[in-house]
Amino acid sequence: MAVKKEKQDREPSLSPSAMRRLREKEQRYETLLRAAEYLFVHKGYHETSVENIADRAEVSVGTVYMYFKNKEELLLKLFSEGVHTLRVILGKAFMKAEKPEDGFRAAGIAFFDVFCKKHPGKVAIVFKEAVGQSQLLEEARRVVLQKLTDDVYNALLAVSESLGIVYTNPRTAKVVAVGILGIYERVAYQYLMWSDEHDKKELSTIGRDAVDFIMGGLGEFKA
């Protein structure tokens, strides 16, 4: 420990001006992300140019390319950020409950009440704008969404054990996990992006109906 401390003491600390430049760089990076997110959501990925992003962020086009290779990299970063936010929200809701089945229900409700209502831009990025754009993005979507699917799958196994659910086929639990995510995605898309303001305000109630439907379906697997 003493050797480690001596090494830390010898390492030069950043000067105040260097710290300021670092903060400014981080702030500019975040500003570019938020500008791209707003435009991708409200204007569409294909209709948004790097020039549009630069204008909204109040920087030069060259500055955008200093931080991101191209517009696709911005979308990929926003997609990964959105799925990470979703995984954190669902994970926290699941872990708070005493029983796995209660956690599973709470996570489903959190999808609609927290992720959809508080992060509508991320919903649009994850389930709309990042879909089918390029082979690179599709591969990235596959990898990132697989982590989310695994989260649901592992939670589902915990629920199955708690409720005495028996699957006749070992692949069934994974299929059910994929199906659950598909239901949540379609309900969110239908009532958050395609419907009128009244239905958007009713998303919490609609989401609970979807969760109840899923929980009821899981009961069919009970031994």
Query: What one-character-per-residue DSSP string does 70-90 give?
Result: SHHHHHHHHHHHHHHHHHHHH
Residue 222: φ, ψ to 5°? -60, 145
Question: What is the reported pLDDT for 219?
Answer: 66
- Give 169: exposed, middle or buried? Use CB within 10 Å, 0-12, 13-18, 19+: exposed
Question: What is the reported pLDDT for 9?
Answer: 52
Over residues 134-178, the pLDDT tens digits come to 888 899 889 999 999 999 999 999 999 998 888 888 889 999 999
Which of 106, 111, 95, 133 is CA-nearest to residue 186? 111
Question: What is the reported pLDDT for 11?
Answer: 52
Instruction: Determine the straight-line distance between the first and last CA of the chain, rounded to whole angstroms.
Output: 56
Question: What is the reported pLDDT for 184?
Answer: 92
Distance from C-alpha of 85 to C-alpha of 69, rounded to nearest angstrom: 24
Question: What is the reported pLDDT for 169?
Answer: 86
In sequence order, what are the beta bridge partners of 165?
Answer: 222
Under a CB-based contact definition with an 8 Å cutoff, are residues 99 and 78 in contact?
Answer: no
- pLDDT by residue for the chain (223 residues), tens only, comes to 444 555 455 555 777 776 776 777 889 999 999 999 999 999 999 999 999 999 999 999 999 999 999 999 999 999 999 999 999 999 999 999 999 999 999 999 999 999 998 999 999 999 989 888 888 889 988 999 999 999 999 999 999 999 888 888 888 999 999 999 999 999 988 887 776 666 667 888 888 999 999 988 776 666 5
- What global pTM score does this model have? 0.83
Question: What is the reported pLDDT for 134?
Answer: 87
Question: What is the reported pLDDT for 64?
Answer: 96
Distance from C-alpha of 51 to C-alpha of 41, rounded to nearest angstrom: 16
